[in-house]
Amino acid sequence: MTTVLQDPAPLFTDPDGSYRFARWGRPVVPVVFGVDDDTLTHLKDAIARTVAITGGRLEETDPELGANFMWFFCQEWEELEAVPNLDQLFPDFTGLMAYLKSDDANQYRSFAFDADGAIKMGILLLRMDETLSKMPIQTLATSETFQSLLLWADGIFAEESPIALIRENGICIVKPEYAAVLRSAYDPTLPVAADDASHALRLAARAQVLLRDLDDET
Among 76, 46, 79, 34, which Cα is nearest to 147's? 46
- Which phi and psi (to 5°) does residue 202 adopt? -65, -40
Instruction: Calculate the alpha carbon distances from 49 to 26, 167, 171 in Å.
Output: 17, 19, 12
Residues 107 and 132 sit within 8 Å (Cβ to Cβ): yes
Q: How confident is the model at residue 1, as a pLDDT?
A: 43
Give dist(CA 7, CA 156) in Å, integer.
14
Question: For position 27, what pLDDT does the model report?
Answer: 96
Q: Quick count: other Cβ atoms within 10 Å of Cβ 209?
A: 13
Contact status, residue 173 vs residue 163, Cβ threshold 8 Å: yes
CA 2/CA 13 separation, integer angstroms = 18
Supply the angle between the helices 37-52 and 137-148 in degrees, to the nearest 10: 40
Alpha-carbon gap, residue 97 to 103, rounded angstroms: 10
Q: Using CA atoms, how far apart are residues 122 and 32, in angstroms rounded to an integer?
A: 12
Q: What is the pLDDT of residue 28?
A: 97
**Spatial distance between the Cα atoms of 89 and 164, rounded to a whole number of angstroms:** 33
Sign of torsion over alpha carbons 55, 59, 64, 67: positive
Over its length of 218 residues, how does the chain's per-residue pLDDT go in tens digits?
457 888 999 999 999 999 999 999 999 999 999 999 999 999 999 999 999 999 999 999 999 999 999 999 999 999 999 999 999 999 999 999 999 999 999 999 999 999 999 999 999 999 999 999 999 999 999 999 999 999 999 989 988 899 998 877 778 999 999 999 999 999 999 999 999 999 999 999 999 999 887 666 54
pLDDT of residue 215: 63
Please report the DSSP string for 19-44 in residue order. B-EEBBSS---EEEESS-HHHHHHHH
Other beta carbons within 10 angstroms of residue 112's beta carbon come to 12
- Helices and strands in the chain: count of H runs, count of E runs: 7, 8
